[in-house]
Amino acid sequence: MSIRYIFACLASFGLLAASGMAHQNLVRIEGAPDITELQPALGGAAPRLGTLRIGLALKNIDSSGSDAFVASQYDPQSPNFHKWIDGEEFGRRFGAPDTDVAALTQYLAAHGFRNVTISQTKLFISADGSQDQVEKAFNTKIEVFQRPFYMVIKGEPATTFAPTEPPKLPALLASKVASVQGLTDLLMQHPANLAMQKVKVGAGGYTPYDLSTAYDTDWLHSRGYYGQSMNIAVYSPTEWHKTDVNTFATAITNIDKDFADGYPISGYTINEITVDGGSTNTNGATEASLDVETIVGQAPNATVNLIEPKNGITYEIDAYNKILALKYPVVSSSWSNEEYTIIQDKLQSSDTAYNNTMKSLAAAGISVFQSAGDSGAFARNNYPARDIVKQVEIGG
């Protein structure tokens, strides 16, 4: 959808959000976590929050139709088999109506939101707003709480923010929105960095040659495939140690100078692509470096693109929409959330945004490889069970 068209639509709506919509009945939308077990932040008055990145997952024109279409693209018997479409075409076929996009964009603008981004699929709108702007636009109040103990012990911040009541929009707009993201940072992703056993003298883990044998990529290497002309995306909501990969490649070369086990680790290119300002967190830098090293170890002639947003649902959807727009054929992520946490904290509202985004990637023929900590849906099953934690906290 062109910027000119958007502005034309906005002009036609005029001051709709600021005037007529203000008198409409308010309707609850999905996007609030369960705060019943959260305690107010320690230290008296809760601090004011900085800029919040809010995302609106829009209701699409034909959800079941898009499901059927994507399924047909992966059916060898279908005339649509491997006939990929880009994000813009997906938006034209299955995205929200242009009038819905324009109305919601106008509403955000009328409330002072900035950096409004409309996905190619016309199924996600994200924007920056202050706490006051967010509270006014979504008719709720955001407070700071103590983060649950079982999250803090795994390295998360001591506090979390969340709305004290469900978000609401004027009825006309609420009917266009499936859910809102970014009203809380209770749900955070975590890297799946797992220790590997030492298998070669002088190497702290598996070498590329161990992995190529274990996963049978030797078959590709023997035929000259080393990732030439490949653009690989790595979802990485963290900064990373830029010198690690070169150190890794040099170390492997020194271990196997004659490459008796395989091939030289050289010829790769690494790009960093920031999303929504990029990440300022370095907690996952080791994981990011490991991701890149694993990839260049198997495809040493490839270009690896680190996609770097901040940690959060809205930022994640923005990042995957960026990958869709850049048309990278492969994306890998070592960052995950456990389904148990999503369900217990009543944050399934993110499902629509995730599902539509992944569906559009599948329609474009983009392969997504997602780590789950080797435990499937229970990616963080080394957490203590909530009931056990409760007993510990109350001395039971």
Residue 37 tokens, joined: 């077990």
Question: How do residues 97-134 score in pLDDT, each as one tens digit?
Answer: 999 999 999 999 999 999 999 999 999 999 999 999 99
Which pTM was predicted? Answer: 0.84
pLDDT at 40: 85
pLDDT at 217: 92
Alpha helices, H only, 111-207: 131-137, 149-152, 171-174
Q: Which helix (H) or strand (E) holds 163?
A: strand 159-163
What amino acid occupies position 210?
D
Mean pLDDT (whole number) for 181-206:
63
pLDDT at 380: 52
Residue 48 tokens, joined: 């004011």
Residue 196 and residue 295: Cα distance in Å, rounded?
Answer: 16
Which has the minimum average pLDDT: 13-22, 211-220, 294-303? 13-22
CATH topology of domain 190-393: Rossmann fold (3.40.50)
For 12-135, list the strands marked E by DSSP. Answer: 26-28, 52-58, 114-118, 124-129
Across all residues in the chain, what is the average pLDDT? 82
Residue 74 and residue 393: Cα distance in Å, rounded?
Answer: 50
Residue 45 to residues 39, 134, 143, 145, 190, Cα–Cα distance (Å):
13, 19, 10, 11, 29
Residue 302 · residue 230 · CB < 8 Å: yes
Alpha helices, H only, 34-188: 63-73, 87-94, 98-110, 131-137, 149-152, 171-174
- Say yes or no to pLDDT of 338 above 60: yes
Question: How do residues 41-86 score in pLDDT, each as one tens digit?
Answer: 876 666 678 899 999 999 876 778 899 999 999 999 999 999 999 9
Residue 149 and residue 190: Cα distance in Å, rounded?
Answer: 16
pLDDT at 130: 96
Phi and psi at residue 247, to the nearest 5°: -60, -45
Residue 126 and residue 123: Cα distance in Å, rounded?
Answer: 10
**What residues does each domain of the chain span?**
3-181, 190-393
pLDDT at 391: 38
DSSP annotation of 393: H
pLDDT at 292: 93
Confidence of residue 199 (pLDDT cuts 50, 70, 90): very low
CA angle 227–360–193, rounded 5-degree value:
55
Residue 276 and residue 127: Cα distance in Å, rounded?
Answer: 9
Residue 67 to residues 93, 101, 118, 324, Cα–Cα distance (Å):
12, 22, 22, 18
